[in-house]
Amino acid sequence: MEDPLASSTNTATLAAPAARRGRGFYFPDVTDAEWNDWKWQFRHRITSLEELCRLLPIPEGERDTRGQVLRDFRMGIPPYYLALIDADDPHDPILRQAVPVSDELWNRAVGDEDPLAEEAYSPVPGITHRYPDRVLMVISNTCAVYCRYCTRKRIMYDDAVPELELDRMVEYIAKTPAVRDVVVSGGDPLHLSTPKLERILAKLRAIPHLEIIRIGTRVPVALPQRIDDELCDMLQKYHPLWINVHFNHPRECTPEAARACDKLSRAGIPLNNQSVLLRGVNDDVPTMKALVHGLMRMRVRPYYLYQCDPVRGTEHMRTTVAKGLEIIEGLRGHTSGLAIPTYVVDAPGGGGKVPVTPDYLQGYDPVTGVARLRNFQKREFVYTDPRPRLGPDLGTIDVVLVEGEPGHANGNGHANGNGNGHGHANGNGNGNGHANGNGNGNGVAEVRVPANGNGFGPVQGGVASPANGQGPVVGKSTWVHGRGNRLPTL
Ligand code: SF4
């Protein structure tokens, strides 16, 4: 059987069409030993405009503006990650994430330095404490790759985080018993040497009330060679430890990335992916579907899909919330639920993550216990809450939903609803009498009927016509659903 994790020495993608990219195209003289050595990859990151222009066809007229962009936010692209770029495509999705473009300069006055107000929620430098039981700990100012849309551009300088500052962060967590979960992030923690990272993890693990350590990293995406046995052996000493990775495009799901994820999984580390919704990168359903399927094949759970934060200089990479909803709509029901991330908007100003979902719940009345739902095919359904227990001496009222042919159950008025059929409960489920029904235009009328006897629904196969009153209810209901409700009087 074919090894799904087999190396792609000379190509950089799982199913890439023939294109001018890959190690053989950009770096034909690099040896296997160099290519597979993460320190070589890190040292040879493309960081200057001159190097970039040697490798990619950057238009002459744009070099000056791109140089200005680099003065604002630096560039770092490992050769492995650069090799994923199609040299013929100026809109290549990998290029858009890592290569500075002139739009960053034109948009530099738009957006915020710190859109999530991380500094405002920072009790000590490097810690953001926004939610009661967990904190973010920024232990590095360096990344394998600098993403052009990064929320933390503001901290990406050359200097490492000083030891003293790291100690103060650990001390804060140790002094704050409410904190049971820490997200160790950056920058990218996994670019640190294994011993240095271990020193930090060991200090955190020594804090008795700290249950969970999570690491946020883009290393498996941009520098998968870094995930070696030494690192995995070290990490697995500090369980429960989780890792959040950051894949944005299916072309990043390479055999090398799959191998890195496999090593981490074998070290017992659950992997969750956090994607950012980016214009021109992954803002369409087929791309996002291919991405989540690629992740699932690597045993990485799609966790969050973030709306891109309004960071200074990234306006050209942002999309609308409508686009995010369209993508979730295009996934839900069309692939397994396990593959669908939670779409969130991180509320500007420090409001935290707000999940945003399409309108699957069309209405819910907690009094009647009736929820109107629609599914991925846009078909409507009604779900009812469990019935309250009824006492023998109490009058009961059945709440009956009458669903007519679409568009036929219009009007307000006095209606006689007869629901004949069988019910779950004892009794015959007949409801006669005064009913107030408000048609909602799509054929659903809600009717309250004093129960005749102690029968209650659900009742199926009933007929709710004709209706007398101001508004006609015509047509036969497709079904009648009753629910007992304790109401003292009517
Ligand atoms: S890897 Fe993460 S922290 Fe680093 S630049 Fe990219 S998004 Fe920002």
**Residue 6: inside a domain:** no
**Residue 120: inside a domain:** no
Cβ–Cβ under 8 Å, residues 148 and 101 = yes
**Residue 389: pLDDT band with limits 50, 70, 90:** low
User: What is the atom index within ligand 1 of the atom nearest the CA of 144?
Assistant: 1
Same domain, 35 and 172: no
**Residue 369: inside a domain:** no
pLDDT at 267: 98
346 given a catalytic annotation: yes
Same domain, 151 and 185: yes
What is the best residue among 113, 150, 243 to mutate for testing ligand 1's pocket, by most ligand atoms within 8 Å of CB?
150
Same domain, 40 and 170: no
Radius of gyration of the chain (CA): 29
pLDDT of 86 strictly over 90:
yes
Same domain, 155 and 278: yes
Ligand 1, CB cutoff 6 Å, lining residues: 143, 146-147, 150, 152, 186-188, 218
**Residue 306: inside a domain:** yes
The number of domains in the chain is 3
Residue range 114-124: mean pLDDT, rounded: 92
**Residue 145: inside a domain:** yes
pLDDT at 160: 77
User: What is the atom index within ligand 1 of the atom nearest the CA of 151?
Assistant: 8
Residue of minimum CA distance from atom 7 in ligand 1: 150
User: What is the atom index within ligand 1 of the atom nearest the CA of 216?
Assistant: 2
Contacts of 311 (CB under 8 A, 6+ apart): 111, 112, 113, 115, 149, 150, 151, 153
Residue range of the domain that includes 478: 388-490
**Residue 91: pLDDT band with limits 50, 70, 90:** very high
What is the best residue among 45, 146, 221 to mutate for testing ligand 1's pocket, by most ligand atoms within 8 Å of CB?
146
Same domain, 188 and 331: yes
Write phi, then psi, for 59 (nearest 5 degrees): -55, 140
**Residue 318: pLDDT band with limits 50, 70, 90:** very high
Same domain, 168 and 238: yes
Same domain, 296 and 329: yes
Same domain, 144 and 90: no
Same domain, 206 and 235: yes
Tell me the per-residue pLDDT of 41-66, one tens digit each, with 9 for 90 and over. Answer: 999 999 999 999 999 999 999 999 99
Q: Comparing C-alpha atoms, which of 157, 159, 162, 160 is closest to residue 146? A: 157
Q: How far apart are CA 238 and CA 202, in angstroms?
A: 7
Same domain, 78 and 159: no
Tell me the per-residue pLDDT of 279-290, one tens digit each, with 9 for 90 and over. Answer: 999 999 999 999
Residue of minimum CA distance from atom 1 in ligand 1: 218
**Residue 151: inside a domain:** yes
SS (H, E, C) the chain: CCCCCCCCCCCCCCCCCCCCCCHHHHCCCCCHHHHCCHHHHHHCCECCHHHHHHHCCCCHHHHHHHHHHHHHCCCCECHHHHCCCCCCCCCCHHHHHHCCCHHHHHCCCCCECCCCCCCCCCCCCCEEEEECCEEEEECCCCCCCCCCCCCCHHHCCCCCCCHHHHHHHHHHHHCCCCCCEEEEECCCHHHCCHHHHHHHHHHHHCCCCCCEEEEECCHHHHCHHHCCHHHHHHHHHHCCEEEEECCCCHHHCCHHHHHHHHHHHHCCCCEEEEEEECCCCCCCHHHHHHHHHHHHHCCCEEEEEEECCCECCCHHHCCCHHHHHHHHHHHECCECHHHCCEEEEEECCCCEEEECCCCCEEEEECCCCEEEEECCCCCEEEEECCCCCCCCCCCCEEEEEEECCCCCCCCEEEECCECCCCCCCCCCCCECCCCEEEECCCCEEEEEEEECCCCCCCCCCCECCCECCCCCCCCCCCEEEEEEECCCCC
Tell me the per-residue pLDDT of 123-146, one tens digit each, with 9 for 90 and over. Answer: 999 999 999 999 999 999 999 999
134 given a catalytic annotation: yes
Given 73, 106, 139, which residue is the final one in a domain?
106
User: What is the atom index within ligand 1 of the atom nearest the CA of 156?
Assistant: 5
Q: How far apart are CA 32 and CA 451, in angstroms?
A: 80
Within its chain, how far is the Cα of 243 from the centroid? 15
Given 355, 380, 408, which residue is the final one in a domain?
355
Same domain, 257 and 347: yes
**Residue 454: inside a domain:** yes
Given 302, 337, 355, which residue is the final one in a domain?
355
389 given a catalytic annotation: no
Least confident of 117-126, 128-137, 266-275, 480-489: 480-489
pLDDT of 462 strictly over 60:
no
253 given a catalytic annotation: no
309 given a catalytic annotation: yes
Same domain, 137 and 237: yes
Residue range 178-189: mean pLDDT, rounded: 95
Cβ–Cβ under 8 Å, residues 153 and 145 = no
pLDDT of 232 strictly over 80:
yes
238 given a catalytic annotation: no
pLDDT of 22 strictly over 70:
yes
**Residue 370: inside a domain:** no
Cα(147) to ligand 1 centroid in Å equals: 5
150 given a catalytic annotation: yes
Could you give the C-alpha distances from 89 to 85, 133, 412, in angstroms and in order?
A: 8, 45, 60
pLDDT at 108: 87
